């Protein structure tokens, strides 16, 4: 079981020549995008499950960031559809609230303090819900996301786990540059 951050879906999609995401997806380096693509392609071909929330926050983020382009569905959405078609999706219950038209996952106050990006709260809520529901914590898979890298050690303190797809020096150089 994996929670796949949207940045993974974007970077893997950007490898494809007809993608609309090539300009804005991170990382910009082709060889690093290809590393992310390889992981997602392997995940797609595996029997591993993807975790989504019953509220639809994760899927809504995917759809918002990877709209159908004029040529084809973005690769990240193809992988999601493949997992749905093969019944390799685990849905977990989370709570959310609406503020200024955006749906935000609810965390305990001490957990919220660890997750400063409100968009990232859904991933944490899903991981914690999976821990309760399945007695295991799916790793949050991320690519070009320094927020996870910075918060990783603290979030491990609440039983979260992560799978980084880029070399450590990519993250440390971005964090150091501020």
Which pLDDT belongs to residue 132?
96
Q: What is the mean pLDDT of each run of 10 residues along the chain (178 residues)?
A: 97 84 88 96 98 97 86 90 98 94 92 91 97 97 94 94 97 90
Distances (CA, A) of 145 to 17, 85, 131, 151, 162: 23, 28, 23, 11, 12
How far apart CA 124 and CA 159 sit, in angstroms, is 10
| Residue 48 DSSP code | P
pTM of the model: 0.94
Helix, coil or strand: residue 129? helix
Distance between CA atoms of 47 and 45, rounded to whole angstroms?
Answer: 7
Confidence (pLDDT) at 34: 96
Report the residue count for the chain: 178
d(CA 33, CA 25) in angstroms, rounded, equals: 9
Residue 70 has a pLDDT of: 67
């Amino acid at each position: 079981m994996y929670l796949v951050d949207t940045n993974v879906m974007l970077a893997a999609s950007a490898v494809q020549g007809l993608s609309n995401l090539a300009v804005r997806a991170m990382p910009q380096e082709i060889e690093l995008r290809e590393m992310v693509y390889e992981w997602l392609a392997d995940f797609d071909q595996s029997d591993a499950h993807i975790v989504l929330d019953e509220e639809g926050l994760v899927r809504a983020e995917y759809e918002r960031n990877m709209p159908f382009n004029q040529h084809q569905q973005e690769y990240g959405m193809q992988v999601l559809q493949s997992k749905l078609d093969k019944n390799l999706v685990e849905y977990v219950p989370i709570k959310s609230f609406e503020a200024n038209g955006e749906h935000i996952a609810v965390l305990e106050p001490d957990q919220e303090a660890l997750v400063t990006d409100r968009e990232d709260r859904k991933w944490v809520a899903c991981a914690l819900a999976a821990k309760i529901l399945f007695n295991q914590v799916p790793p949050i898979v991320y690519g070009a996301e320094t927020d996870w890298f910075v918060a990783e050690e603290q979030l491990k303190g609440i039983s979260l786990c992560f799978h980084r797809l880029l070399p450590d020096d990519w993250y440390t150089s971005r964090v150091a540059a501020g």
